[in-house]
Chain A
């Protein structure tokens, strides 16, 4: 007994106890909800059986219902387009800004701080502001474009099916740039300055230094930013809720918003869970790629 106590206080038992705590935490707050969600997607669920664990098993019926929905493929396509465009532009612009503020000029760090404003604003507030900017009849953007003579007619950013998704993309790019910029700035700051000086002395031009030094040194940071970016983009819900509600006619609907609509507007929780399981599968692939890319980094 005393041996066990001693081991718990100072020794293998202690290590084990610490690991167990972490595992218990992971199980309760990560694994359990995930498993519960996956289980929901294979069961027949209504609000009165939400609290039970044992419910009628329906196999793939929920997934079949989902795939049979006429909007399924357009929602999936929208989701891919939304994530793809957001990542490309958030990363591109964020990286550009990070490089820019890496230069030594007066006020560089203060200006960089200002960009954080977008990161601080809650997405719902950002949504309200963008709604006002994009409003068709009295929106700020239309007013600007028309007074500058760029367009003659108002553009209905949020209610034209061909445009609505791109409007949300623009708002989300704006929202995501600071996050990308800050993480990439941290990565850039980690590259020793003397390396650049040595390279410059050896005659490497600005482009050569970027291509052969900055990019390879930033590889793991970029991997992390892209993976986290994909996950954050797949989480983006508030902008859809405040700007278009997935409309008009599902033209700007994406998986995460659809899942919520199915569960909490149609009370079809099982099908809603099936959508989130599909998303989960995708995120696992992304996380796997991320882990692999950083692992190779360590080995190199």
Chain B
């Protein structure tokens, strides 16, 4: 009861302060991010601009390696030394919000003039929502699509205006483009044993009617069988099993693969490395005219529940949220709510990614996503290495996932 009262008070205080002039007390915000300073890192740019607008607020950024993120956050939560604001990968957000580690932003948003959650795309919105409350704001999104080398299409007598639309077409096209003599595979993607494998597989399963909580459905089995066929016939490198997306796409940029499945984060590097006409198409689906699905990537800005400056932290979140129209050009994210994109870089690719955002589905959301994801990527690997067939592998993943969801 006291807690609720406190929250209401805090919320009210936040609202009052937002409308009032900037307070005189200098405030320091600790921000954790995975961005690199040189990249140019999203949080570094945002913090710089924000502190110019609010000279009374100082922001200390700590960079955490993506691989160490869970480790660092766990230690911080356990020892009560959480930062005020942090970046959280979207499938990990429910894990934190369900356990009460994050500040409930709902009362702040209710008073905000900048944020209207009803405009946020349903995919990203679902990752920050838990039990009807909002625990974070998407900083941008991404999703995967099919990149292809138009020059190789022409050389193989294929029409680069007609990229493959269905799984069958993708398979046929990959087969035509594969040329072992020249070290060229038809397709590059990632089926490795961690989150990336699941991230790449889910949209295939979803567009065929399955999803993480009914992953043993026939649609998912058929999707996995297509992956099996592509790997068995060496239309993609066997190293697909141990390579992440970034390494896989490096082979596309080096023209060792004619097509590649990945996200918009590839574009800055691709425009430097790829000396050919690269284009993007929507991720192929099982049958023409069927449902589309696409995996939702990127993450959210959150405030930790223990923050001593929730009001200023929220101002920072608001500022970042308001900068959504720039995220594509400057950081390679797709906006998480509809914005008017002025003069986007790589306009054709932007159009495809912005279109596939409409179908982007969040992974989960579930506080136990990490375990669910592991079950799926294990099944993928078992089937692709023919330890079991696709149906058995996915059925055993389903049993594991049922156990997790029932808890």
Contacts and interface: CB of A to CB of B under 8 A. Distances in A.
Interface of A: 46-51, 70-71, 135-138, 156, 158-161, 164, 244-251, 261, 264-268
B77 A244 contact: no
Interface string B375-397: 00010011011010000000010
Given A48-B99, A51-B79, A264 B70 contact: yes
Contacts of B396: 70
24 contacts: A47-B99, A50-B75, A51-B80, A135-B239, A136-B238, A136-B239, A137-B251, A137-B256, A156-B239, A159-B240, A161-B385, A244-B242, A247-B241, A247-B242, A248-B241, A248-B242, A249-B378, A250-B193, A251-B385, A261-B374, A264-B71, A265-B194, A265-B374, A266-B371
A46 B100 CA distance: 13
A47 B238 CA distance: 36
A205 to B, nearest CB: 50
B129 interface: no
A265 B70 contact: yes
Nearest to A247: B193
A248 B385 contact: yes
B95 interface: yes
Contacts of B238: 136, 156, 159-160
Interface residues of B, number: 35
B184 to A, nearest CB: 10
A50 B74 CA distance: 8
Interface of chain B, main secondary structure: helix
Interface of B: 70-71, 73-75, 77-80, 95, 99, 101, 183, 185, 192-194, 237-242, 251, 256, 370-371, 374, 378, 381-382, 384-385, 387, 396
Contact of A248 (B193, B251, B370, B374): B193
Given A136-B239, A248-B385, A51 B78 contact: yes
B175 to A, nearest CB: 18
A249 B239 contact: no
Given A136-B238, A247-B241, A266-B371, 7 more contacts: A138-B256, A245-B242, A248-B193, A249-B385, A264-B70, A264-B71, A266-B374
B378 A267 contact: no
B108 to A, nearest CB: 24
Contacts of B239: 135-137, 156, 158-159
